Amino acid sequence: MNLFRNVVFIAAIAGLVAGVVLACMQAYATVPLILKAEVYEQAGGGHGHDHAAVPAATGTTAMSTAAPAEATAPAEDEGWAPADGFERFAFSVLANIVTGIGFALILVAVSEFAGGIGNWRQGVFWGLAGFAVFTLAPGLGLPPELPAMPAADLTERQIWWWATVAATAIGLGMIAFRKSLPLAILAVALIVAPHIVGAPQPGSYETAIPEGLHHQFVVAVTVTNLVFWLVLGAVVGVVRGRLTGTATNLRDSFA
């Protein structure tokens, strides 16, 4: 029970800190770009697509504050959404904290099999690995998308995203913990394979979103996620080091 309690406690603290940091960065870096994109979306008739289920974007929960364009047909009921301002920011913080705790649980659980994260420096390296697995590698084929941008079938994108995450994680693990040339070659092949196959692409690339705005959004999402993972890894290292008092894995604190 101590082992489970320690893992959950470390993940909760790290997820809380990293989630709040991510939400604050999004408020200044990605949300304004999303609001600009929604203006183009509304001007073009409001034809967008579903972004919600693709983890690669790791975007925001912001809704547009711009005035809606004049409707030529009855608007569809999109359901409840948080109000602009504090309520929207609060829900964004909550969503990011939950996401952060989930990623922290994965980070702590996986790192324990390698001896655990003993300090913040080790945590930074583990955070970089998490960034490479969950953001960088999938983002090469499925970059973050703004509203009104075309996209391929959602199920196909999800399958490719998860396959890329799994292949990248296994490949990096083989390179880091298996000092063998044949395994290293196999690891590189695993990492590259999803990109050779290629991510699902939309039937048309026509969009009202300016290329420069999308480029800014991709950079903003990538940078904010990099900081998120660095903070997550570092906090895991600090809290775990204080909790165990050593660099040994948490299983040794089972008493």
Residue at 74 is within a domain: no
Work out the mean pLDDT of the chain and round it to a whole number.
Answer: 82
Q: What is the pLDDT, as a whole number, of residue 84?
A: 64
Q: What is the pLDDT, as a whole number, of residue 80?
A: 63
- The percent of residues in the chain predicted with pLDDT above 70, rounded, is 79
Mean pLDDT for the stretch of residues 100-119: 91
Residue at 72 is within a domain: no
Q: What is the pLDDT, as a whole number, of residue 73?
A: 39
Residue at 76 is within a domain: no
The 3-class SS string of the chain reads CHHHHHHHHHHHHHHHHHHHHHHHHHHHHCHHHHHHHHHHHHHCCCCCCCCCCCCCCCCCCCCCCCCCCCCCCCCCCCCCCCCCCHHHHHHHHHHHHHHHHHHHHHHHHHHHCCCCCCCHHHHHHHHHHHHHHHHHHHHHHCCCCCCCCCCCCHHHHHHHHHHHHHHHHHHHHHHHHCCCHHHHHHHHHHHHHHHHHCCCCCCCCCCCCCHHHHHHHHHHHHHHHHHHHHHHHHHHHHHHHHHHCCCCCHHHHCC
Q: What is the pLDDT, as a whole number, of residue 56?
A: 37
Q: Is the pLDDT of residue 61 over 50?
A: no
Structural domains in the chain (count): 1
Do 153 and 202 touch, CB atoms closer than 8 A?
A: no
Residue at 77 is within a domain: no
Mean pLDDT for the stretch of residues 70-76: 40
pLDDT in tens, 85-101: 677 788 889 999 999 99
Q: Is the pTM above the cut of 0.85?
A: no
- Amino acid at site 170: I
Residue at 73 is within a domain: no
Do 146 and 107 touch, CB atoms closer than 8 A?
A: no
- Binned at pLDDT 50, 70 and 90, residue 44 comes out as low
Instruction: Provide the domain limits for residue 109.
Output: 2-67+84-253
Residue at 59 is within a domain: yes
Distance between CA 63 and CA 92 in Å, rounded?
11
Mean pLDDT for the stretch of residues 33-48: 74
Q: Which long-range contacts (CB under 8 A, 24 or more apart) does 117-122 make?
A: 117/233, 117/236, 117/237, 117/240, 117/241, 118/237, 118/240, 118/241, 118/246, 118/247, 118/248, 119/237, 119/238, 119/241, 119/247, 120/233, 120/234, 120/235, 120/237, 120/238, 120/241, 121/237, 122/237, 122/247
pLDDT in tens, 125-149: 999 999 999 999 999 999 999 988 8
Greater model confidence, 238 or 179: 238
Q: Is the pLDDT of residue 68 over 70?
A: no
Q: What is the pLDDT, as a whole number, of residue 252?
A: 53
Residue at 203 is within a domain: yes
Q: What is the pLDDT, as a whole number, of residue 28?
A: 92
Q: Which long-range contacts (CB under 8 A, 24 or more apart) does 171-177 make?
A: 172/129, 172/132, 172/133, 176/114, 176/129, 177/114
Distance between CA 7 and CA 20 in Å, rounded?
20
Greater model confidence, 222 or 48: 222
Residue at 75 is within a domain: no
Do 35 and 101 touch, CB atoms closer than 8 A?
A: no
Which of 76-80, 193-197, 198-202 shows the lowest mean pLDDT across its residues? 76-80
Distance between CA 41 and CA 148 in Å, rounded?
5
